[in-house]
């Protein structure tokens, strides 16, 4: 009876020792995993919010001083920039060396990563489009715009563009949500194109 009790005790001690070893292995793995997650998050945070320095002022010709630099003291903490900002639009010249208005529209699409851009009158007449056969789509979208309805296709945004006192409609197709800055830039560039070519 005593021998059975002793062997049972030894067996329980062995099982307990194995369970403790397994727990130690799991704790070690958990700590290693948490360290990897922390390192990954740290590197992602470093990529998302790089240090942004304000542009250095341009010196005034002949003086070597920047405009407004004399007598200006900077006090207080620096303004914090937002952590995530939209990527800047690439520098694309939409007018120079363009053979026609369609090439300018093509360059505008490249600049803002757009799938398509149609300019139409509010009556639905196509002014310029990259693709032939856009008149039906232009008529449908301009009708929706006149009735103050939202676009019925995903990825389509309406922009009202003023040209020589006449309101026109820009129909933008993109696979990303346009930021207010992008919408403003597209509007300004579209007006430049219209003023240049028409």
**Upper half-sphere CA count for residue 84 (Cβ side, 13 Å):** 4
Q: What is the pLDDT of residue 132?
A: 80
Mean pLDDT of 104-123: 92
Minimum mean pLDDT among 62-71, 142-151, 171-180: which range?
Answer: 62-71
Q: What is the pLDDT of residue 93?
A: 77
pLDDT tier for residue 144 given thresholds of 50, 70 and 90: very high
Round to whole Å and give the CA distance between 152 and 137.
Answer: 11
Partners of residue 126 on adjacent β-strands: 120
Whether domain 101-197 has CATH 3.40.50.720: no
Over 70: is that where the pLDDT of 135 sits? yes
pLDDT tier for residue 109 given thresholds of 50, 70 and 90: very high
Mean pLDDT of 56-82: 50
- SS3 label, residue 129: coil
Contacts of 182 (CB under 8 A, 6+ apart): 86, 89, 112
Q: What is the pLDDT of residue 82?
A: 47
Round to whole Å and give the CA distance between 91 and 115.
Answer: 18
Round to whole Å and give the CA distance between 194 and 161.
Answer: 10
pLDDT tier for residue 142 given thresholds of 50, 70 and 90: very high
Contacts of 129 (CB under 8 A, 6+ apart): 102, 105, 116, 117, 118, 119, 138
Q: What is the pLDDT of residue 72?
A: 47
């Amino acid at each position: 009876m005593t021998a059975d009790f002793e062997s049972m005790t030894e067996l329980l001690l062995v099982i307990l020792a194995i369970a403790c070893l397994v727990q130690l292995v799991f704790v070690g793995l958990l700590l290693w995993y948490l360290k990897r997650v922390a390192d990954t998050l740290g590197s992602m945070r470093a990529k998302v919010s790089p240090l942004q320095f304000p542009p250095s002022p341009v010196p005034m010709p002949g003086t070597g001083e920047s405009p407004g630099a004399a007598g200006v003291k900077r006090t207080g903490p620096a303004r914090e920039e937002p952590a995530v900002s939209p990527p800047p639009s690439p520098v694309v010249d939409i007018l120079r060396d363009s053979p026609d208005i369609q090439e300018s529209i093509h360059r505008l699409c490249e600049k803002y990563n757009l799938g398509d851009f149609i300019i139409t009158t509010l009556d639905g007449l196509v002014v310029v489009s990259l693709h032939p056969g856009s008149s039906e789509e232009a008529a449908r979208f301009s009708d929706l715009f006149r009735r103050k309805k939202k676009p019925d296709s995903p990825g389509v945004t309406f922009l009202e563009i003023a040209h020589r006192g006449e309101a026109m409609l820009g129909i933008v197709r993109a696979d990303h949500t346009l930021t207010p800055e992008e919408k403003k830039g597209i509007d300004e560039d579209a007006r430049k194109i219209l003023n240049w070519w028409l």
